[in-house]
Structures are given as structure tokens and as C-alpha cells.
């Protein structure tokens, strides 16, 4: 006789187990892991993150999540934000906690309260230390929305958050006497956090909107061991050495000025890098049959009302007037691409119709979030808008993913994928969103992509696939994105003639690969510690004659290199050692030295960055190898010369 209460558990390693009664995730994993359960933070139950206290009452697939996992870090740091909020509200009684999310490198929590002093910061850290030495549990509870309104009646920020929640039941988490509105999940106990540090205190507006009250934003970092904290601190010191802002100044790439806060001034060397990136982009997209377009920087208010940006993105836009009419400076390229499409009649036979645009956009970012090339008010997007019928969604998005993969491999960059779903301020019907999200899920599953679901972080017009690259320091950067849009084609009444001879509404895919080109340059500068791949280097080679009598020979080499499109510097001033040092400080990958022997033998002495041994070569052979290395965009210098 079959026991109807039997529950089948399928573990991440393919093994199965049967339990006779509902059990917590903790107890189920304890069967499997024994004492190793103490390192598990949360678990995936049927691919959804759950607390270890979650009760499993039906057949389920279960996998543990550790701090070493991306989701584990996010949960750990979000829990740490709650610990911080408990410490702050216990110390500063009138402080109003608002939101406290994890970020790529730690967490923050925003509070409505007076500015903190150095002594306040020290006291908060002391209180945090006491909390994490306790064994207070994170307890989840579901309550009605009405109960939540009463619970948070003295905190208008939580009330505003509640107003944006459609569900009738919400979840709260208790940590001792501290209660927060939160979806979770969280670590089981506060003492899972062994090391905690406040890193920065800054000003920020609630929800990032400048018309909202200013908050005190406390950033922090935490780890499950002291060793990891010490390693993190050492890594931060290492990262400081390669800050892209300092590299940009030292290498004469770009500058920032008070006359244009948040706007970068690109110098010649910086534009060399930017132009090489765009050249590579164009080569790939021409092969993929993209048409390149260019659309105006200023478009009418009516356009932005129709697109939904006026309603959903107005706070991040700049405005002007033309002929006494309201206009906006474009923060995105998509409406312009749609107008280009609408300029003619289109048939399904043209699909996929790929319109690419390297377009400059401008966004009204708050001064407090500006950060070198990483956060600008004006930047260049390698944008594209692809018009397709619904039956082409899978094929076309797969092609785009292949492009992203090709580009990131060109730089030796690894990445992970996130699926961002419907946000609270979205346009469109439930059916449209469900169809769009389902399509992206199926594509990623078929590719066998390991991906993380990022609830509520989609664009207001559609869900998206985001690509997060990992740099040499282990930091993650969201760059490429693929957005599936059913909304703008409807709002703009975009049509095409189908196989049936009738008019239909296409789907639009929005996508970038680099993201913001300037930001991508900043990431590459830090990732390569200033030593960019040869093809991106503003100067490929420095030529150093040993003395005056060698200058004529060096000038001939310089001319030959220039004729072969090798970016070259001829350095004749100062001592040889100082010129070598100058070349190294300016991150020039190849240094050619010419003296008596080189002239006699019609050769050069080559110094290569990262390689101790100097190499004597015929100039013709060197030029051929460097040209091949540039044209093939070879990543490693030794592969060019070997």
C-alpha cells in the first residue's frame, strides 16, 4: 500500500530521498550534509530561494546555497543590512529605516535621520558586533497588508513601499525586537556573520528621486570569517592602485572638469580606445547584417509621452524648448529607432530587421552617484533595436547571446547571466509579461545557461537578460542586456505585413553589448591594470634610439610603422633609461631600442611588457607580427611575437 504522505526530495547531485512528513529545509539538508549544514545559508527549492526554516510539504528539488555562490553573498549581505538597521534604530530612536538591499560588493541601508558623526559610526559598529555575537534568529512571518500598515504606521517610507505592493499578504522578518518589511530570504541567525565593517556613509534620496527627502546611506561589507574580511581589505588596497580615474589622468586618456560635472572630456588617447571598440563593434554587426542608423539627440515631449518615458523615466531626463514647444534630450535610443522603422512599409520577409546605433544619451543622474566613467550623465551606447515576429524570438535572442559571448571572449572576460522580471512600474498586461518572461526562460534553459532570476528588475516595457562580467579582482559588472519588448510597438502602432497578408504588431528586442562604451573602457582599464590589449593600446610601440647618431635609423622605422598603421612614438629626449621608464609608465606594450649593432645588422632590440628577456628581431618581421596581432586582436603579447 502506497503512503500518500510520502514526499520525494530530489537533491542537486541527482540523488533522491523520501520523507514521510513535511520537514524544514534545514532538517532535509542535514540528512544529506551532516555537520556541513552549518555553512549553508539558504536553499533553492524548485529553483526558488527559500529560508532554511521553510517547510517542504510536496515533492521538491533542493540545492544548498553557500556564501561562495552569488545568491549566497546577496542573501548574506541583505541579512547584514537588517543587522545594521537593528543597530542603528536601537541607537538612534527617531531614525526611520527605508530600504537596505545587497549590492555587488556588500550592502547599504538608507535612513531618514541626522548626519552621523565619526563617534556615531563607531557606536553603531559596536552595537553590530554585539548583535552578531548573539544567536538571534531571522524569523519570517506573513501578515495581511492591513496589519502591515498598522505595524509601520510611524514610518511613511514603509507605507509608501506598501502602497506599491499589489499582494494582499506581505512578509516581514524579525530579528529580536527589530521588524522589517522584506521578501527575504535570510540567513538563519545573526551569528553567521563573523566580520562586519561600515565602509562609507553618503547622502542619497529616497528611491533615488531628487524630489524625495535626503537619506543617510550607510554602506557596509560582511563575511562569514575574519580571514575573508582581511582578504577583502587587502584586495581593496590593490584595487586603489588601478583606479581608472587615476589611470585616465596618468595615461592622458580623459579628464573631468567642474564646468561639466558628470561629463567626460575624452582626450586623443582615450578616443583611440573608444574608436577601436566601435570599429570592432561595427565589424561584428556588419557580418550579422545590422543596419547602422543615427537618430537626433532632442525629440518632442509628445514622443516621450507616447513611449512611456515621460511617465516612467522623467526624473532622469533633461528638457529644453524649441519654437516654444517642450522637447527632451534623449536618455535612450529606442523611440528614435522606432520612428526610423515607421518611415516605411515593412513585411515579414524583412525580419529580423536589425537597426544598430552607436548613440549618445544623456541622463540626469544625481551628483552623489557620479563616479568617473562608471557613472556619467552623458555616455555612448552600442545600441540595437531588432524588429521581429513572435516566432523568431528564440532564434534571434540566441544569435544575440552568441554575439555577447564572442565579444566578451575577445577580452578574456567571464560572465554570468541574470533574468530580470516585471517591475512594479511596468506597462502592459499580465499575459504579455508572462509570455515575454516565459520566452526568455525557455531560451536560457535550452542553452543550458546557469542563470539567476532577479525579480522586479526588468525594464518598464519588458523583461530582460543581463550579462554580468567578472573582472580580475572578482568584481561583477552588468554590461550587456537583451530586453524583450511587447509594449512600445503597441504604443507606437508599429506594424508589418504577415504571411497572411494582414497587418500585425512586431516584437522589438532592445540590446547592448558593451553597454555604455565609456563605462566599458573604465572596466577594461582596471581589469587589465592599465595594460590594455595591443589593439586597444593608444600607442603600440615606442622607438628609442640609443644616441643622436641612431636617430635617422629610428626615424625610418617610425615612418615604416606609421605607413603600416602601427601607432608609434619616437622618443629622443632625455636618457635612455628615463625614456624606457616613460614608456613603461605610459603602458606602451612594445619598446624598440636601436643602437650601433641594430643599425649594422638591420635589426631592432625589442622589450615586451611582461617578458624579461629582450629579443633581437628583423624590423620587417616585427612589423608583420604586430600587424597580425592588431588585426586579429590577439590578447596575449607573447602570442604575437612567438
For the cut 80, the answer to whether the pLDDT of residue 210 exceeds it is no
What number is the average pLDDT over the span 586-603? 94
User: How many residues in the chain?
Assistant: 642
Whether 362 is covered by a domain: the verdict is yes
Range of the domain at 408: 244-295+332-527
Q: Number of folded domains in the chain?
A: 4
Q: Partners of 470 in the beta sheet? A: 414, 476
pLDDT at res. 4: 61
- Residues 60 and 117 grouped into a single domain: no
For the cut 80, the answer to whether the pLDDT of residue 209 exceeds it is no
Task: Find, among 468, 488, 449, 219, the residue nearest to 339 by Cα.
Answer: 488
Whether 504 is covered by a domain: the verdict is yes
Q: Distance between terminal CA atoms of the chain?
A: 72
The confidence band for 257, taking pLDDT boundaries of 50, 70 and 90, is very high
Concatenating the DSSP letter of every residue in 332-363 gives -SHHHHHHHHHTS--BGGG-SEEEEEEEEEE-
CATH number at residue 42: 3.10.20.30
Beta-strand pair 541-545/568-570: parallel
Rounded CA gap, 301 and 306, in Å?
Answer: 9
Whether 309 is covered by a domain: the verdict is no
Beta-strand pair 378-388/414-420: unpaired
Rounded CA gap, 196 and 83, in Å?
Answer: 10
Q: What is the pLDDT of residues 295-317, one digit of tens each?
A: 999 999 999 999 988 888 888 89
Higher pLDDT, 303 or 458: 303
Cell of 566: 602601427
Rounded CA gap, 392 and 395, in Å?
Answer: 5
- Residues 506 and 581 grouped into a single domain: no
- Residues 368 and 229 grouped into a single domain: no
Report whether 604 contacts 557 (CB < 8 A): yes
Burial track 431-453 (b if 16+ CB lie within 10 A, e otherwise): ebbebbbebbbebbeeeeeebbb
User: Is 579 exposed, middle or buried, given 0-12, 13-18 or 19+ CB atoms closer than 10 A?
Assistant: buried
Cell 557613472 sits on residue = 375
For the cut 90, the answer to whether the pLDDT of residue 174 exceeds it is yes
pLDDT at res. 1: 42
Q: Partners of 298 in the beta sheet? A: 329
User: Is the link from the previous residue into 352 a cis peptide, with omega within 30 of 0?
Assistant: yes
What is the percent of the chain with per-residue pLDDT over 70, rounded to a whole number? 99
pLDDT at res. 132: 95
Cell 545559508 sits on residue = 41
- Residues 148 and 116 grouped into a single domain: yes
Q: Which segments within 444-583 are labelled E, that is strand?
A: 451-454, 464-470, 476-485, 496-497, 503-504, 507-516, 541-545, 568-570
Task: Find, among 105, 374, 369, 363, the residue nearest to 245 by Cα.
Answer: 374
Whether 61 is covered by a domain: the verdict is yes
Q: What is the pLDDT of residues 379-437, one digit of tens each?
A: 999 999 999 999 999 999 999 999 999 999 999 999 999 998 888 778 788 888 888 88
pLDDT at res. 452: 81
- Residues 138 and 249 grouped into a single domain: no
- Residues 16 and 36 grouped into a single domain: yes
Q: CA geometry: angle at 442 spanning 480 and 289, to 5°? A: 50
pLDDT at res. 6: 87
Whether 325 is covered by a domain: the verdict is no
- Residues 249 and 192 grouped into a single domain: no
Q: Around Cβ 557, how many Cβ atoms within 10 Å? A: 22
Residues 6+ apart with CB under 8 A from 117: none
Q: Partners of 325 in the beta sheet? A: 322
Active site amino acids: 334, 363, 381, 383, 385, 464, 510
Rounded CA gap, 212 and 205, in Å?
Answer: 6
- Residues 545 and 397 grouped into a single domain: no
Rounded CA gap, 168 and 123, in Å?
Answer: 39
Q: What is the pLDDT of residues 516-572, one digit of tens each?
A: 999 999 999 999 999 999 999 999 999 999 999 999 999 999 999 999 999 999 999
CA 150: distance to chain centroid?
38
For the cut 80, the answer to whether the pLDDT of residue 617 exceeds it is yes
Q: What is the pLDDT of residues 92-142, one digit of tens each?
A: 999 999 999 998 889 999 999 999 999 999 999 999 999 999 889 999 999
Whether 617 is covered by a domain: the verdict is yes
Cell 520577409 sits on residue = 349
- Residues 87 and 177 grouped into a single domain: yes
Rounded CA gap, 504 and 585, in Å?
Answer: 59
Local structure of residue 506 (DSSP, 8 states): P
285 phi and psi angles, rounded to 5 deg = -75, -25
pLDDT at res. 3: 55
Amino acid at each position: 500500500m502506497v503512503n500518500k504522505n510520502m514526499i520525494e526530495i530530489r537533491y542537486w547531485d541527482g540523488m533522491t530521498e523520501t520523507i514521510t512528513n513535511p520537514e524544514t529545509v534545514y532538517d532535509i539538508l542535514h540528512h544529506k550534509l551532516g555537520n556541513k549544514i552549518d555553512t549553508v545559508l539558504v536553499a533553492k527549492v524548485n529553483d526558488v530561494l527559500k529560508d532554511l526554516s521553510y517547510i517542504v510539504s510536496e515533492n521538491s528539488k533542493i540545492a544548498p546555497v553557500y556564501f561562495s555562490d552569488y545568491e549566497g553573498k546577496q542573501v548574506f549581505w541583505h541579512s547584514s543590512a537588517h543587522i545594521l538597521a537593528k543597530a542603528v534604530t536601537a541607537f538612534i530612536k527617531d531614525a526611520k529605516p527605508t530600504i537596505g538591499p545587497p549590492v555587488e560588493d556588500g550592502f547599504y541601508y538608507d535612513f531618514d535621520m541626522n548626519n552621523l558623526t565619526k563617534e556615531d559610526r563607531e557606536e553603531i559598529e559596536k552595537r553590530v558586533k554585539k548583535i552578531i555575537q548573539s544567536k538571534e534568529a531571522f524569523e519570517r512571518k506573513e501578515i495581511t497588508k492591513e496589519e502591515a500598515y498598522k505595524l509601520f504606521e510611524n514610518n511613511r517610507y514603509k507605507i509608501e513601499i506598501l502602497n506599491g505592493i499589489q499582494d494582499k499578504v506581505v512578509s516581514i522578518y524579525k530579528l529580536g525586537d527589530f521588524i522589517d518589511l522584506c521578501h527575504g530570504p535570510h540567513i538563519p541567525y545573526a551569528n553567521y556573520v563573523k566580520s562586519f565593517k561600515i565602509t562609507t556613509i553618503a547622502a542619497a534620496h529616497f528611491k533615488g528621486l531628487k524630489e524625495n527627502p535626503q537619506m543617510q546611506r550607510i554602506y557596509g561589507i560582511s563575511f562569514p570569517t575574519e580571514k575573508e574580511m582581511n582578504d577583502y581589505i587587502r584586495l581593496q588596497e590593490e584595487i586603489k592602485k588601478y583606479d581608472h580615474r587615476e589611470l585616465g589622468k596618468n595615461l592622458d586618456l580623459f579628464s573631468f572638469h567642474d564646468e561639466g560635472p558628470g561629463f567626460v572630456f575624452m582626450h586623443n588617447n582615450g578616443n583611440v580606445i573608444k574608436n577601436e571598440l566601435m570599429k570592432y563593434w561595427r565589424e561584428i554587426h556588419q557580418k550579422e547584417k545590422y543596419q547602422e542608423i543615427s537618430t537626433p539627440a532632442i525629440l518632442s515631449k509628445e514622443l516621450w509621452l507616447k513611449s512611456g518615458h515621460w511617465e516612467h523615466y522623467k526624473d532622469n531626463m533633461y528638457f529644453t524648448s524649441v519654437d516654444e514647444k517642450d522637447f527632451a534630450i534623449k536618455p535612450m535610443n529606442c523611440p528614435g529607432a522606432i520612428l526610423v522603422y515607421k518611415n516605411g512599409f515593412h513585411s515579414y520577409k524583412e525580419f529580423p530587421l536589425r537597426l544598430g546605433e552607436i548613440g549618445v544619451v544623456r541622463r540626469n543622474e544625481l551628483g552623489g552617484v557620479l563616479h568617473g566613467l562608471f557613472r556619467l550623465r552623458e555616455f555612448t551606447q552600442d545600441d540595437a533595436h531588432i524588429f521581429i515576429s513572435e516566432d523568431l524570438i528564440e532564434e534571434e535572442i540566441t544569435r544575440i547571446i552568441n554575439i555577447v559571448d564572442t565579444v566578451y571572449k575577445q577580452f578574456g572576460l567571464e560572465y554570468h547571466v541574470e533574468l530580470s522580471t516585471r517591475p512594479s512600474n511596468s506597462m502592459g498586461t499580465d499575459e504579455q509579461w508572462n509570455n515575454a518572461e516565459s520566452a526568455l526562460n525557455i531560451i536560457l534553459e535550452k542553452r543550458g545557461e546557469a542563470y539567476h532570476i532577479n525579480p522586479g528588475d526588468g525594464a518598464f516595457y519588458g523583461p530582460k537578460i543581463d550579462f554580468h562580467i567578472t573582472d580580475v579582482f572578482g568584481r561583477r559588472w552588468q554590461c550587456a542586456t537583451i530586453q524583450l519588448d511587447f509594449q512600445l510597438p503597441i504604443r507606437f502602432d508599429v506594424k508589418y505585413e504577415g504571411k497572411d497578408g494582414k497587418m500585425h504588431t512586431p516584437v522589438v528586442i532592445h540590446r547592448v553589448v558593451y553597454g555604455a562604451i565609456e563605462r566599458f573602457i573604465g572596466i577594461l582599464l582596471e581589469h587589465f591594470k592599465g595594460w590594455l590589449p595591443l589593439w586597444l593600446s593608444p600607442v603600440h610601440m615606442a622607438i628609442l634610439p640609443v644616441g643622436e647618431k641612431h636617430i635617422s635609423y629610428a626615424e625610418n622605422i617610425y615612418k615604416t610603422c606609421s605607413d603600416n598603421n602601427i601607432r608609434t612614438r619616437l622618443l629622443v629626449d632625455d636618457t635612455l633609461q628615463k625614456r624606457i621608464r616613460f614608456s613603461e609608465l605610459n603602458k606602451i606594450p612594445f619598446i624598440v631600442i636601436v643602437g650601433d649593432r641594430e643599425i649594422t645588422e638591420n635589426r631592432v632590440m625589442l622589450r615586451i611588457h611582461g617578458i624579461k628577456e629582450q629579443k633581437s628581431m628583423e624590423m620587417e618581421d616585427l612589423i608583420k607580427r604586430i600587424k597580425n596581432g592588431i588585426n586579429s586582436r590577439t590578447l596575449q603579447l607573447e602570442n604575437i611575437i612567438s
